[in-house]
């Protein structure tokens, strides 16, 4: 039972990413999944619930898991957490059978879902604020320890770190996010703000 539910989520995510939520009908889902309408409705009450489940599974849960850090977080903890989150996104893309799916498709779907479902958007916003707060804490902690330069603006630097994963340029990387470049960017920015002896 659980495997079938997971399969439905995975295939629905593929279809939504390729066609968009509004362009995907129940019939499209049935054909892609090779199941009857009754089976689909056994697992999900409607398409809205299915889309929300896809967003939770592929975006919100992995980020929530990555941000399960202590209040006394340091920069290495934060960078590793974000690398783990990026790994989960990359792994999800690799599991899709249809190789036309890329980060641009998925980002478009994410914006569509967050526009349609305020509860998803609020959860995403809470996670974004939590991440920003953790960056602030990590930077402040390492400034007090003398690891990070004391003259940097903590708030601005926290915002810069929080936006790294949202900053890929499709003109440079094509439709796919360059996950290795993003990871190097975290490390590179961290190196730039460290005190000379560190």
Is the pLDDT score of 170 beyond 80?
Answer: no
- Does 176 have pLDDT greater than 60? yes
Domain segments of the chain as ranges:
47-193
Mean pLDDT rounded to a whole number for the chain: 90
Query: How many residues are there in the chain?
Result: 198
Q: Is the pLDDT of residue 66 over 90?
A: yes
Domain formed by 47-193, architecture: Orthogonal Bundle (1.10)
- Kindly report each contact of residues 67-73 with a partner whose C-beta sits within 8 Å and lies 24 or more positions away, as own/partner: 67/127, 67/130, 67/131, 67/134, 69/134, 71/137, 72/137, 72/141, 73/134, 73/137, 73/138, 73/141
Kindly state the average pLDDT of the residues 137-165. Answer: 95
What average pLDDT score do residues 150-156 get? 96
What pLDDT does 136 receive?
A: 97
> How much is the average pLDDT of 84-99?
87
pLDDT digits (tens, 9 = 90+) for 96-115: 888 788 788 888 888 899 99
- Cα–Cα dist 18/108, whole Å: 10
């Amino acid at each position: 039972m659980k495997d079938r539910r997971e399969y439905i989520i995975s295939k629905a995510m593929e279809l939504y990413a390729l066609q968009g939520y509004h362009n995907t009908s129940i019939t499209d889902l049935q054909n892609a999944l090779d199941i009857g309408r009754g089976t689909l409705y056994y697992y999900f009450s409607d398409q809205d619930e299915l889309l929300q489940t896809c967003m939770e599974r592929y975006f919100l849960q992995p980020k929530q898991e990555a941000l399960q850090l202590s209040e006394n977080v340091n920069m290495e903890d934060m960078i590793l957490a974000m690398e783990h989150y990026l790994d989960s996104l990359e792994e999800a893309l690799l599991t899709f059978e249809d190789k036309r799916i890329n980060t641009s498709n998925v980002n478009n779907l994410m914006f569509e879902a967050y526009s349609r479902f305020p509860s998803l958007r609020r959860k995403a916003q809470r996670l974004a604020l939590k991440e920003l707060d953790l960056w602030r804490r990590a930077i402040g902690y390492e400034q007090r320890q003398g690891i990070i330069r004391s003259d940097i603006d903590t708030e601005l630097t926290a915002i810069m770190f929080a936006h790294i994963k949202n900053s890929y340029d499709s003109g440079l990387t094509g439709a796919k996010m360059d996950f290795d470049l993003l990871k190097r960017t975290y490390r590179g920015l961290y190196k730039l703000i460290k005190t000379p002896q560190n």
